[in-house]
């Protein structure tokens, strides 16, 4: 059993069933496991007084941490490469902020969505990550020296709503107050727009959880060219799903727009964006395209970005320019997956 896949309540139930112990020992293990490194939970008083129990727990609850096999760092941004138990690599990006850290996690090895501007999508799909493999990425950063991990974004390799059940269990573990304690309002799930998945997410009743939707074009023809998922779930269906999505007071939907030079950067495109999000509580994140080594698209110039941003502002849209971090180490939006190319 891997404790990285368990919530506190599930850990308590396991301690009662397997060891005949209750909340006291389960709470000590759970807090210690998630907040201390190198099995230091065994040095906590409840386990020092019960060495046989400590050994049984250590034997049964093997965390199987991810094995670090590579790291690149540039300007504080770190792209970590971990080996999964089957040898496949997964990439995680650690982004330093002023007083805390954001961890960009992967949820799949590869991706089956096939977005044309995305390196991960170009590689195809290998497999889903388990809840434990998702949580392990945050756990590895959390238990290492450094600023507190405050934010987790599902914007790494893979489509979260294509691995729905495992992602949701991972979020339950990540947000458990007895363990990693990442507040739901600090967790963002990014999707290309799988409408049934958005509906399932809405049904969970987690209005604090942030939802980000990768739009990239607001007309069906262009969006279907850039993002094949649009042929299945078009813009009308996507807008309907966003219209009915529950949000906590003060929360907004995040709409991501990757700006590609000569493709979706004209004033008419801004008009279509404004029409699509009219009436929705939206913050629009404008992201300059980060071409990977095999991309057929071009990054916009600074002047291109400024011009298009002004188009959006002129239409009274709340737009934020998201500065890409980690481009030089293939760690920016749409660039992950270089380790997989060698497999």
Asked about 115 being catalytic, the answer comes back as no
Tell me how crowded residue 73 is: count the other CB atoms within 10 A of its CB. Answer: 13
Q: How far is the C-alpha of 291 from the C-alpha of 328, rounded, in Å?
A: 11
Q: How far is the C-alpha of 157 from the C-alpha of 106, rounded, in Å?
A: 4
Question: What separation in angstroms does the CA of 312 have from each of 68, 90, 242, 283?
Answer: 42, 36, 20, 12
Q: How far is the C-alpha of 332 from the C-alpha of 79, rounded, in Å?
A: 9
For residue 295, the SS3 value is coil
Q: What are phi and psi of 300, to 5 degrees?
A: -75, 155
Among all chains, which residue has been given the structure tokens 């600090």? 186
Q: Are strands 89-96 and 77-83 parallel, antiparallel or unpaired?
A: antiparallel
Residues in the chain: 343
Q: How far is the C-alpha of 221 from the C-alpha of 308, rounded, in Å?
A: 20
Catalytic residue of the set 104, 107, 115, 333:
333
Cβ contact 187:19 at 8 Å: no
* Residues marked as catalytic: 333
């Amino acid at each position: 059993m891997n404790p990285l896949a368990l919530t506190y309540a599930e850990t308590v139930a396991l301690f009662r069933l397997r060891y005949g112990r209750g909340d006291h020992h389960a709470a000590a293990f759970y807090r210690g496991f998630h907040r201390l490194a190198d099995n230091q939970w065994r040095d906590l008083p409840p386990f020092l007084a019960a060495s046989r129990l400590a050994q049984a727990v250590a034997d049964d609850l093997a965390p199987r941490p991810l094995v670090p096999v590579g790291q690149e760092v540039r300007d504080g941004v770190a792209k970590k490469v971990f080996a999964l138990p089957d040898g496949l690599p997964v990439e995680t990006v650690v982004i330093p902020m002023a007083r805390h850290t954001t961890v960009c996690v992967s949820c799949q090895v590869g991706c089956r969505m096939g977005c044309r501007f995305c390196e991960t999508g170009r590689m195809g799909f290998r497999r889903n990550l388990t809840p434990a493999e998702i949580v392990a990425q945050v756990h590895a950063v959390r238990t290492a020296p450094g600023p507190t991990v405050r934010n987790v974004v599902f914007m790494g390799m893979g489509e979260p709503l294509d691995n729905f059940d495992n992602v949701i269990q991972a979020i339950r573990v990540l947000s458990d107050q007895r363990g990693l304690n990442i507040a739901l309002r600090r967790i963002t799930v990014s999707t290309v727009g799988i409408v049934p998945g958005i509906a399932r997410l809405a049904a969970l009743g987690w209005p604090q959880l942030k939802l980000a939707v990768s739009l990239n074009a607001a007309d069906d023809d262009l969006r279907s060219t850039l993002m094949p998922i649009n042929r299945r779930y078009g813009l009308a269906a996507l807008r309907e799903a966003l219209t009915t999505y529950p949000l906590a007071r003060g929360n907004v939907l995040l709409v991501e727009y990757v700006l590609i030079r000569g493709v979706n950067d004209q004033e008419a495109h801004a008009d279509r964006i404004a029409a699509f999000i009219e009436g929705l509580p939206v913050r629009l994140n404008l992201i300059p395209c980060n071409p990977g080594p095999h991309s057929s698209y071009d990054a916009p110039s600074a002047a291109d970005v400024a011009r298009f941003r002004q188009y959006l502002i002129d239409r009274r849209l709340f737009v934020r320019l998201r500065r890409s971090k980690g481009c030089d180490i293939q760690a920016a939006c749409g660039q992950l997956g270089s380790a997989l190319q060698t497999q």
